[in-house]
Structure 1
Amino acid sequence: MDLETVLEYTSDAVTELDKDWNYTCVNYSAELLLRRKRAELLGHSLWEVFPELLNTPAEAELRRAITGSIAVKFELFLPGLYAWHEVRAVPTEQGLILFSRDISDRIRVLREEAVRAEIRNMLEYAPVPICIMRGQEHRIEIHNRSFQQLIGDRNFEGLTMRNAFRELEAQGFFELLDQVYATGETYEGKELLVRYDRHGTGEMYEGYFNVIYQPLLDTTGQVCGILSLNIEVTKEVLERQRVARIATERDAILQQLIEGVIVTDAEGRITFVNEAASRLHGVAKLDVLPEGYTDTYHLYTVDGKPYPPAELPLSRAALRDEIVTEARWRIRRLDGTEVLVEGNARPIYDEQSRKIAAVLTLRELAAKS
């Protein structure tokens, strides 16, 4: 078998250029690699066929090979073919022989690995727990340090979500991931209760999380994975529940008092009116600010004039931090009856001496119809 036959059927793409850079030999593999018929190449200049190589490192290497009579090896990207080639150029008496092969897949893998490493570096120290999953089975590709802290510093990369968190079965999270992958629509969940083995000891942990499942798309626009952000809000939820329990207990106690009781927040907005106060006023409207006390609750001075809102005992306690005792005023109810009441008001402070509320207690002194 002669050399020409060997070159024709070798898997490497082999082309030969004369000293004027014209193609003089093109084997079958080169036709496939360059996506050109032999007739389109033979007799034509390399720079005519691939003008995008001019003024590039590839041109410099080829000229170095032919002028220095040395073999060179380099990689180049051909935009027209959207491909990376590895080229070995060997000088001959007639010009150059080029041995080329497609390395696009290898370059693509290297670039994907570089991108993946860059993504990991960006996410690694992010203060928000982040996990990236790939494929329909939601295989964990990357999770950052903040996420690892939620799982006892274990490493679940490479596992599917169902294998990594078997205890989440029947809690609805796997179904949510399937839904996001199937629809491509982002899911946001607030204060979701999660029961899972946090430290791998078999002991179940209960926590509340704000969760975002963001679909990831490939170059064709198809969903290829999901980015998950998981922000723990357990302390905030438990504290709010504790405060709500205290408020419920407080309300239950205050409802039993014979005296009327009205409570506001730190800005003076009414948040609670017990039954006794409601009966005295004939109204029990919440979310009323100090400027609306007089009109909403029909309050008058002892001599029958509309009570200036800013001078009402509850307003003075809420807005000016005053303690008011044995103040008197009239209430004119919607049915036309009036009652004369006496009351005390004071601001309420927390353990850090911050005002958190104001409270008014009142009782009927006399009634006039």
Structure 2
Amino acid sequence: MLVGGALLALLFALLSSSLLVATFDNPLDVFFDLVPTGAALYAPVCDPGGEVVDFRFVRLNPAGQRLLGLPAQPPRTFREYYPHSVPTGIFALYCAAYRTGQVATYDVPYAGDGLDTFFRLVAQRCGDVLVVNFTDMADLPHSAVEAALRAAQAAEQLARAEIETQRQRLTEVLRQLPTQIATYHGPDHVYTFVNQRYQDYFPAQALLGRPGRQALPAAAAQGFFDLLDRVYQTGEPYHGVELPITLDFSASGRGQQLFINTLYHPLRNSQGEINGVLDFSYDVTEQVRARQQVQQLNQDLEVRVADATQAALALQADVLAAAQRQVQERETFYQVFTQTPAAISLKRGPEHRYVFVNTGYQALFPDRVFVGHTVAEALPETLQNGILSLLDKVYRTGEPYFGHEVPLPVPGPKGTRQAYYTFTSQAYREHGAIAGISTFAYEVTEQVLARQQREAHQNELQRIFEQAPVAIAVFRGPAHTIELANDLQLAIWDRTREQALGKGLFELLPEVVAQGFEQILTGVMATGQSYVGIEAPASFTRHGVREEIFVNFVHHPLREADGRISGVVAVITDTTEQVRARQLVEASQRQVQALNEELTATNQELLASNARLRRTNVDLDTFIYTASHDLKAPIANIEGLLALLRQQLPAETQRVGLVPRVLGMMQESVERFRLTIAQLTDLTRLQQVPTEPSQPVQLAAVIEAVRLDLAPLLEATDTQLTVTIGECETVQFAPQHLRSIVYNLLSNAVKYRHPDRVPQVQLRCRAAGQQVVLDVQDNGLGLSQPQQEQLFTLFQRLHAHVEGSGVGLYMVKRIVENAGGTLTVQSQEGVGSTFTVTFPA
């Protein structure tokens, strides 16, 4: 022993010393060859996981060559020459020495592989090689005690070799482990797993899903579940050795005593909290009975048996700990696979036999049985749809297969539905060879259908935009990049879609940079306020010629989900023809005014000028009437198309992106056009028919009819309306015109209310000689003096926050004055206004 250890130390020092190698002519070779005992250098052979599975001869000294009958560099590996090195424990010794770097000594008899002797082995790792010194002890004299000790050591090493063999095959042992394994969940120790060996002890009991004390009251009475309570509460494992337990295994009423070794170990969840206990136990009844008999032998044998038992228990504890770790790892993976929303399956062998499916996979085919069956048996339809062929290719080549949004008919309670899956099928290996295929699949049906629906909606929206009767464009970002433009908008710009989309507006149309549109767009994005342009002039280069047009437009901000403004939508109407016509009218009016000034010189010229002026006014009225009449049909068509669009678009589409904004803006534009046309029509009628026949009209009935029309507005604003008619029961006036006067004055009194107080409106009627005077007084916003001077001007609007066209008061004044009456106003800004109508006698 000392000689071998000293030689190994010297060999190790020489191998580690770069100084000696540099100083002498390879002294290691000289010493290695002169050592009188066998010496060998081995290099490890590892599997893909880095585990040492064999050793390769690097060099064998002459003494070793003589002892083993091998050359200096044997061509085969250590285990190929000496397969008996595994059961004798020699290979395990070498692995331990290489793994730990510690000196390992072993006296072992070796009978086999052409040898029959007793070796003393000393091994230690040096760098990447294992240095072994071995001595043939067969020819040396030995005392009887030493011989007995060697025999005991040989027996112990044989036991160690067997344990090492079991350790290397741990994975297979765990699958078919002849021990009782169970897992419990929660403080009531509900059974969540029992292996077959455990269940065999209780063939008449259903254990899974039941609390332990309820399932096995006899075990509970003997304190075993009290031990589980302590492990669960403290987190400290419990290791019981040869615990006696009496159980009625056959339900015959007669108990049987056994002895078990058990390990109770806490199980923890991903947060580190204890949520269960692992029960790893095995029956040692035979060993206990045998030991009880052996205890009657002599004291020396008893001591040796006790020592061997202790060593075996230590090794068994190591095996149990390793088993517990692997069970915990498998349980962790099982929980992850079970709870993941993906569909997961594991298939084994070239026939693709299911060994595991999680809940998500089973839910795809709830009426199918998978585990234990092949894919062809469980899913015969895979023979026709090609999936089985794909699995065969993955198993044969080892190359994974990735399927993206693959359509798959899935049976359900209401019949088969078309689903889409993205999945991966990948081979897994054992000991370097393909053992099976794992499949991970995610259902993406909702995403695929949603994308298809979005694409259909986008195409439909694009079609609608292209057919819209107004020009529409969408600009994004500070450069106002053109994202969308329909055909009418492209026609205004005289550009193709390819020329426009993706370019900045003012990059595409540099001629409009100085026309103020850039400032308008920038202002809309900065303030978030819409901008409305009426008959705005714009100059474009169209067909190579600079051309001025007039447009009505609305620029509206586009907001993202977080409220951030990212662009502007523009709705534009070309009003060039209308503006040109009105300009002609205005030019005619200017000419008439010039003629009037000239004709003041003589009565004759004045009469002629008046005649021309009347004709011009008739033409103007005719034009306004014609224009308003001709616009009704297009507006009705637009409104019909808009209503049809709302009916055809699904409700969810009307809430997507720009759709609700654009539809709302289009509806508002239609309503404004309708209101303006209606008021222009009324205005034309007033001019064509200056006065309608007057008749006695019940004023109270007219006021009540108007109040009913305005009831929603009055209730919504909590307006307090006070009516005092007095002696004015009837008014001599055209009924329709009287109603228009009352309606306009009352509605304006409510619409222009002050935001800080409850609206109060008083309508009073009184007689003033032969005339009837009607007052409408409010406590609203009131008017400044400059506002009062502009109040009755056509199309004049003094408060932008209230909808209107600026025609109402102009019409009221025309009606009253055409009938020979007057309309005046008294107002104070911030206090309120009083409108006074004087009807003729």
> What band does the TM-score fall into relative to the shorter chain?
0.5 to 0.7
Match of 1:295 among 500, 507, 511: 507
Distance 1:181 1:261 in 2: 58
Distance 1:320 1:230 in 2: 49
What is the CA deviation profile of residues 2-32 of structure 1, one whole-angstrom value per residue up to 9, with x for unaligned ones? xxxxxxxxxxx998xxxxx865684xxxx3x
Distance 1:78 1:339 in 2: 97
**1:217 maps to what in 2?**
429
| AA aligned opposite 1:359 | V
Distance 1:158 1:169 in 2: 19
| AA aligned opposite 1:256 | Q
Distance 2:488 2:574 in 1: 10
Decide whether the 8 Å contact of 1:261 with 1:362 is kept in 2. yes
Determine whether 1:284 maps to 2:361.
no
Q: 1:83 to 1:179 in 2, by over 3 A?
A: closer
Shift of 1:295: 0.7
Distance 2:548 2:364 in 1: 60
| AA aligned opposite 2:531 | V
Q: 1:255 to 1:83 in 2, by over 3 A?
A: closer
**2:584 maps to what in 1?**
none
Match of 2:574 among 351, 364, 368: 364
| AA aligned opposite 1:257 | A
Q: 1:82 to 1:211 in 2, by over 3 A?
A: closer
Match of 2:164 among 74, 77, 88: 77
| AA aligned opposite 2:439 | S
**1:38 maps to what in 2?**
115
Decide whether the 8 Å contact of 1:132 with 1:141 is kept in 2. yes
Distance 1:171 1:293 in 2: 53
**1:322 maps to what in 2?**
529
Secondary structure, aligned partner of 1:132? strand
**2:555 maps to what in 1?**
345
What is the CA deviation profile of residues 343-364 of structure 1, one whole-angstrom value per residue up to 9, with x for unaligned ones? 2232467999998985322233
Secondary structure, aligned partner of 1:43? strand
**1:145 maps to what in 2?**
359
Distance 2:575 2:568 in 1: 23
Match of 1:192 among 387, 400, 406: 406
Secondary structure, aligned partner of 2:346? strand
Secondary structure, aligned partner of 2:389? helix
Distance 1:250 1:306 in 2: 32
Match of 1:164 among 362, 366, 378: 378
Determine whether 1:175 maps to 2:393.
no
Q: 1:167 to 1:276 in 2, by over 3 A?
A: farther
Q: 1:342 to 1:148 in 2, by over 3 A?
A: same
Distance 2:488 2:398 in 1: 56
**2:340 maps to what in 1?**
126
Distance 2:566 2:384 in 1: 42
Secondary structure, aligned partner of 2:442? strand
The structure whose Rg is larger is: 2
More strand by share: 1
Decide whether the 8 Å contact of 1:128 with 1:230 is kept in 2. yes
Counterparts of 1:58-73 in structure 2, within 5 Å, are 66=152
Shift of 1:242: 2.0
Distance 1:243 1:251 in 2: 12
Secondary structure, aligned partner of 2:163? strand
Decide whether the 8 Å contact of 1:165 with 1:196 is kept in 2. no
More helix by share: 2
| AA aligned opposite 1:206 | Q
Distance 1:228 1:82 in 2: 29
Distance 2:107 2:351 in 1: 53
Q: 1:361 to 1:163 in 2, by over 3 A?
A: farther
Shift of 1:204: 1.0
TM-score (norm 2): 0.30
Determine whether 1:241 maps to 2:477.
no
What is the CA deviation profile of residues 245-287 of structure 1, one whole-angstrom value per residue up to 9, with x for unaligned ones? 2222222222122322224679976543212122222132576
Decide whether the 8 Å contact of 2:352 with 2:436 is kept in 1. yes
Over aligned residues, Cα RMSD in angstroms? 5.0
Distance 2:430 2:109 in 1: 42
Secondary structure, aligned partner of 2:340? coil
Decide whether the 8 Å contact of 2:520 with 2:531 is kept in 1. no
**1:5 maps to what in 2?**
none
Q: 1:22 to 1:226 in 2, by over 3 A?
A: closer
| AA aligned opposite 2:342 | V
Q: 1:331 to 1:235 in 2, by over 3 A?
A: farther
Shift of 1:177: 2.7
Paired residues in the alignment total: 300
Distance 1:295 1:50 in 2: 81
| AA aligned opposite 2:115 | R
Q: 1:14 to 1:162 in 2, by over 3 A?
A: closer
Distance 1:366 1:235 in 2: 49
Decide whether the 8 Å contact of 2:485 with 2:501 is kept in 1. no
| AA aligned opposite 2:372 | G
Q: 1:119 to 1:321 in 2, by over 3 A?
A: same
Secondary structure, aligned partner of 1:76? helix
Shift of 1:209: 1.8
Shift of 1:234: 1.6
What is the CA deviation profile of residues 87-114 of structure 1, one whole-angstrom value per residue up to 9, with x for unaligned ones? x9x998xx99x9xxxxxxxx9xx89x95
What percentage of residue pairs aligned between the two structures are identical?
19
Secondary structure, aligned partner of 2:395? helix
Using CA pairs under 8 Å that are at least 6 residues apart, name the structure with larger relative contact order, 1 or 2.
Answer: 1
Distance 1:160 1:356 in 2: 56
Secondary structure, aligned partner of 2:421? strand
Decide whether the 8 Å contact of 1:298 with 1:332 is kept in 2. no
| AA aligned opposite 1:37 | G
Shift of 1:158: 2.4
Q: 1:293 to 1:266 in 2, by over 3 A?
A: closer
Secondary structure, aligned partner of 1:258? coil
**Mean Cα deviation higher: 344-353 or 204-213:** 344-353
Decide whether the 8 Å contact of 1:133 with 1:140 is kept in 2. yes
What is the CA deviation profile of residues 209-228 of structure 1, one whole-angstrom value per residue up to 9, with x for unaligned ones? 222222323333x4332222
Determine whether 1:251 maps to 2:338.
no
| AA aligned opposite 1:236 | Q
Secondary structure, aligned partner of 2:472? strand
**Mean Cα deviation higher: 252-261 or 157-166:** 157-166
Q: 1:82 to 1:150 in 2, by over 3 A?
A: closer
Decide whether the 8 Å contact of 1:347 with 1:357 is kept in 2. yes
Q: 1:82 to 1:136 in 2, by over 3 A?
A: closer
Secondary structure, aligned partner of 1:181? helix
Secondary structure, aligned partner of 2:497? coil
Structure 1 residue runs without a partner (length 5+): 1-12, 16-20, 53-61, 99-106
Decide whether the 8 Å contact of 2:409 with 2:417 is kept in 1. yes
Distance 2:408 2:164 in 1: 50
